[in-house]
Amino acid sequence: MKKVDFLDTVAAFIAGNGLLQKGALYLVGLSGGADSVALLLVMRRLGYRVEGVHCNFHLRGRESDRDEVFCRDLCRKWEVPLHTVHFDTMAYVEAHHVSVEMAARQLRYDYFERLRTDVGAEDILVAHHMNDSVETVLINMVRGTGLHGLCGIQPRNGHVVRPLLCVDRQMILDFLQSEGQDFITDSSNLVPDVMRNKIRLQVIPLLEQINPSFIQGVSDMADRLKSAAALLDGVVEQTLSAARREDSMPQVEAFDRTVLSNDYVGHALLCRYHFSPAQCTAICRNRMAETGTLYESPTHQLLFDRDNILIQPLFVAPKPLRLPVDGKYVLQGDDRLRLTLLDRPENMAWSADPNTASLDADRVEWPLTVRVADRADRFRPLGMRGTKLLSDFLTDRKMNRFAKMRQLVVTDAQNRILWVVGHRIDDRYKVTDDTRNLLRLEFFQDPS
């Protein structure tokens, strides 16, 4: 491909996908390799405002320092500002228990985003090209993937933009040769150790022996599948909208469980909440599970509840809050609990508000505590003679498992339940004709 044709191809790709705008500032991830050097050069040729960003991960000894020197010299020659950052990558690996490859990725993109915000750049440009996208398709196939996994790398992901996805590796090398521009080679990319290197160095060359146009062919397939995925996504959204149900609990989404009867729709829904492909398959196959069945992803919980499925962020129970005296207390979020001591009025009016309770203050042993309910909790519901497991009481009130997780109780100094907040007081602390002093408890829930 001629130099002019290469520039025109990239320019048309940028325009066709609405990726960049003239006048805005962009950061270019610059490693010193052929791909990133070509990206920086193309952006300059096309008239975009760019600054380079180089990350030194200190993984290859002198070679890492050589890369940094090369990038500094290149940007100085082209009069492009360069930002550099150094990482102790192995320390990050040990601290976060991730692979070296994942550590470098997380460190790099976290830094890119912070720098983008600091310097007021529009986006971060990275040099992924057609070969990288095809490698990603093959990696996803090996791991097992759905339709979107066959669509390759997207031109834009948030503020990360990839203007070179329209050209392959050989086109990039030919362009640099026509410019007389040198680059450096990362020796770690020449070793078939990690999966991507094995596919790049061993698998793709074999496939290209069968079909010399393999890279272009898979790239064209991925583009067609993107169109198919966009069409199906519209159908999925309509299906999910029809299956959505109202739920009174904050941060909980509810869907008719029949939404799982179509595997594609079910996977599309569950992947949004970071359930793994294996979990998605298991949940869809188990769509007739009994009420109370629970699944967890790294970020969310899914509950089968009667005819619905409920999905909420992973619930972390708030720590118990000690209430040493009467007054107003801030609970989790914007929830409030107010305790008021007062004399019993002669003509006492009972409140019908379930979030208000009145107790015989002289029977209460301070300090009090507000906490979430425990499975072993027992109390004597108002009007009963014997005690009952709180979990059974909540089940009788048809509360689902998510609601039970959030249920608050107020206890006394002996950890005896005084009030199941919003539901029932313990009969032993009720107001009687002999009551002289009242303890009024009022719960104010965050409306969001």
Q: What is the DSSP string of 65-113?
A: HHHHHHHHHHHHHHT--EEEEE--HHHHHHHHT--HHHHHHHHHHHHHH
Helix or strand or coil: residue 448?
coil
Q: What is the pLDDT of residue 448?
A: 53
How confident is the model at residue 158, as a pLDDT?
96
Domains of the chain: 3-223 (3.40.50.620), 246-313 (no CATH), 321-444 (3.50.40.10)
What is the pLDDT, as a whole number, of residue 346? 80
In terms of DSSP H, where are the helices of 163-203? 169-179, 195-198
End-to-end Cα separation, the chain, in angstroms: 58
- pTM of the predicted model, to two decimals? 0.72
Intervals of the chain under pLDDT 70: 1-3, 447-448
Give the model's pLDDT for residue 347. Answer: 79
- Integer-rounded Cα Rg, in Å, for the chain is 31
Q: Are 329 and 370 in contact (CB under 8 A)?
A: yes
CA distance 427 to 388: 12
